Amino acid sequence: MGLEAVVDEIKEKGRREVEAARAETRKEVEEILQNAQGRAESIKLAAEEESERQAAHIVNQEVSAANLIVKRQVLNAQKKLLDQVYQASLAAVRDLPADFHKKALAGLLEQAAKEIDEGVVHCNEQDVPALQDIISSSTTLKGYSVGTAIDIPGGIIVESTDGELQIDYSYRTFLNDVWESELKAASDLLFG
């Protein structure tokens, strides 16, 4: 075999080795690209899941905040309505006929006389004549005198003559007692 045949054989062997190396390199490159593509896909999925989780969290926070605002507005509206009912109740009692107030004052004075023997009785301006009539016509209320008119919707406030004891039998006090004890029931009735 001649030198030229040996050179051709070496060239052929080199070419085959180069082709094999290129094929091996292509195979490695494809594997690296596939691995990189798989990692990129998993990173992309993880990022999408995280962004969806964060978006859901933000939506939940916003919904909770909106619900809280609505609940606060409903409670404020209910309180405003209950305050209106309270004021309307006081006005309704204040606007009852004079004979109702006179009977109520007489009953309240009898109650007060059990606790204070002598004292000064205060009432609102419109009930002063009725109070004067009740005190002047009663033998059990001889120790009582009519004091100055005060700003109450009705009822009386009695002070002992020494000033150490005061009894509040005003309509507002009675309404407050009822209001505090029955507010939940009234709220349940009105607002379910």
pLDDT band at 171 (very low <50, low <70, confident <90, very high): very high
Summarised one tens digit per residue, pLDDT across range 55-98 is 899 999 999 999 999 989 988 888 898 888 888 988 898 888 98
Question: In total, how many domains does the chain have?
Answer: 2
Q: Could you tell me if 54 and 90 lie in one domain?
A: yes
Q: Could you tell me if 101 and 130 lie in one domain?
A: yes
Residue 52 has pLDDT above 70, yes or no: yes
Q: Could you tell me if 73 and 105 lie in one domain?
A: no
Closest CA to 82 of 192, 189, 172, 187: 187
Q: Could you tell me if 84 and 105 lie in one domain?
A: no
Q: Could you tell me if 37 and 77 lie in one domain?
A: yes
160 three-state secondary structure: strand
Q: Could you tell me if 156 and 86 lie in one domain?
A: no
CB proximity list for 143: less than 8 A, separation 6 or greater: 117, 118, 119, 161
Summarised one tens digit per residue, pLDDT across range 111-166 is 999 999 899 999 999 999 999 999 999 888 889 999 999 999 999 999 999 989 99
Alpha-carbon dihedral of residues 156, 160, 164, 167, nearest 10 degrees?
-20
Element housing 69 (H / E): helix 3-94
- Domain span holding position 58: 1-95
Q: Could you tell me if 102 and 90 lie in one domain?
A: no
